[in-house]
Chains A and B, each alone.
Chain A
Amino acid sequence: MAGKPKLHYFNGRGRMESIRWLLASAGVEFEEKFIDTPEDLDKLKNDGHLMFLQVPMVEIDGMKMVQTRAILNYIATKYNLYGKDIKERALIDMYTEGMADLNDMILMLPMCPPDQKEAKIAQIKEKTTNRYLPVFEKVLKSHGQDYLVGNRLSRADIQLVELLYYVEEVDPSLMANFPLLKALKTRVSNLPTVKKFLQPGSQRKPPISEESLEKAKKIFRIQ
């Protein structure tokens, strides 16, 4: 019998969090092996477990998968969260790639030098309200359906709702003019698997603390 997927990353959101969200939403139980020290990461590298010497790495179905997008693509396909045909997949891809661009900006914020932070936050807010959220609000408005693509739950909805939680953390007022997105967020959050993941005690990770950030920098030998 196949074991549970095992996630290798540091104990924080980073690039692994979207994978945690997708697995959890699909109702897939998973294990985590946290990288706590630079030596832990070195061992993974030296034992040949990391194709490009990087994490995230997910052990799943006999593979040691790396590259966040490849991992998300695999999970989405396996659990039928990737549309029903090539055209739906193209829409899902476009939407999730746009989301990833915004998500990356928010993800990288803790790494921003203090004197640039305010400008960066302003840029994130501007892109959120002018470039990204309007697109998804418009999609929902155009077809009036409950989900972004194909009238059923897909990775696009899960990844968007994850992003909306981060947008709220940056500034709750950013969601003000997007009623359909708010409704999607509520709807998806109430799905049993997602509801469980949103509760305390789940494997969902909190925003990174100063202490965690310093630890992560040590592990990945940054600065």
Chain B
Amino acid sequence: MATKPKLHYPNGRGRMESVRWVLAAAGVEFDEEFLETKEQLQKLQDGNHLLFQQVPMVEIDGMKLVQTRSILHYIAEKHHLFGKDLKERTLIDMYVEGTLDLLELIIMHPFLKPDDQQKEVVNMAQKAIIRYFPVFEKVLREHGQRFLVGNQLSLADVILLQTILALEEKIPNILSAFPHLQEFTVKISNIPTIKKFLEPGSKKKPPPDDIYVRTVYNIFMP
């Protein structure tokens, strides 16, 4: 019997959260081993479990997968979240890459100097409203379907929903000019596997707080 994937990362969102989202959306149960100390990271590194000495790392199907995008691609392909052909896959790729650029700003935000954090929220909002959301609003408006690509759930929908919800935590009215994205948010959130992930008690992690930031510094700073 196949064992569950096992995620190695600190107990917080960071770069692993997208992986948690996609596994959850695909209905795949997983285990987590939380990194709390430098010594634990050292142990993983010394044991040659981390190809480039870094996390995220996911033990899955006999592999120790590292590099966030590799992990996301593997899970997406395995669980039919990557489109039905090369053209759909390519659209999904472009959408995901753009969304990950925006998500990157959110991931890095807690680690900015406090003085820079407020300015960065403004930057995130501008990028979302001017560069990213209009693209997806247009895609949804033009084909009128529930999902971004190929009329079925894909990696692109999951990563976009993750990003929208994370942005809404900081900027509650961020979707005010995007009616199709508002509808998208509701519809994708209501997919049973995703709905379950959004309920309390799931493996979805809360917004990063001071404890998380301190833990990360303790583990990763030399």
Contacts and interface: CB of A to CB of B under 8 A. Distances in A.
Interface of A: 51-53, 63, 65-70, 73-74, 77-78, 86-87, 89-90, 93-94, 97-98, 101, 131-132, 135
A74 B68 CA distance: 19
A132 B98 contact: no
Contact of A90 (B65, B89, B135): B65
B98 A77 contact: no
B177 interface: no
A73 B135 contact: no
Given A52-B101, A86-B74, A87-B63, A101 B90 contact: no
Contact of A70 (B67, B68, B94, B132): B94
B78 A86 contact: yes
B86 A69 contact: no
A77 B138 CA distance: 28
Given A94-B70, A132-B52, 4 more contacts: A52-B101, A69-B69, A73-B90, A86-B77
14 contacts: A51-B94, A51-B98, A52-B135, A70-B93, A70-B97, A73-B89, A90-B70, A94-B66, A94-B67, A94-B70, A97-B69, A98-B66, A132-B52, A135-B51
Contact of B98 (A63, A67, A74): A67
Contacts of A101: 52
Contact of B52 (A67, A74, A135): A135
B13 interface: no
A52 B131 contact: yes
A63 B90 contact: yes
B94 A65 contact: yes
A210 to B, nearest CB: 28
B27 to A, nearest CB: 19
A102 to B, nearest CB: 9
Interface of B: 51-53, 61, 63, 65-70, 73-74, 77-78, 86-87, 89-90, 93-94, 97-98, 101, 130-132, 135
Contacts, number: 74
Contacts of B65: 90, 94
B69 A93 contact: yes
A69 B90 contact: no
Given A73-B90, A98-B67, A67 B97 contact: yes
A191 B84 CA distance: 34
B63 A74 contact: no
Contacts of A53: 130-131
A90 B52 contact: no
B63 A69 contact: no
B156 to A, nearest CB: 11
A93 B74 contact: yes
B221 to A, nearest CB: 14
A51 B51 CA distance: 34
Nearest to B70: A93
B85 to A, nearest CB: 11
Nearest first, the 9 A-B pairs at minimum CB distance are A97-B67, A67-B97, A93-B70, A70-B93, A70-B94, A94-B70, A52-B98, A90-B74, A98-B52
Nearest to A66: B94
A86 B73 CA distance: 9
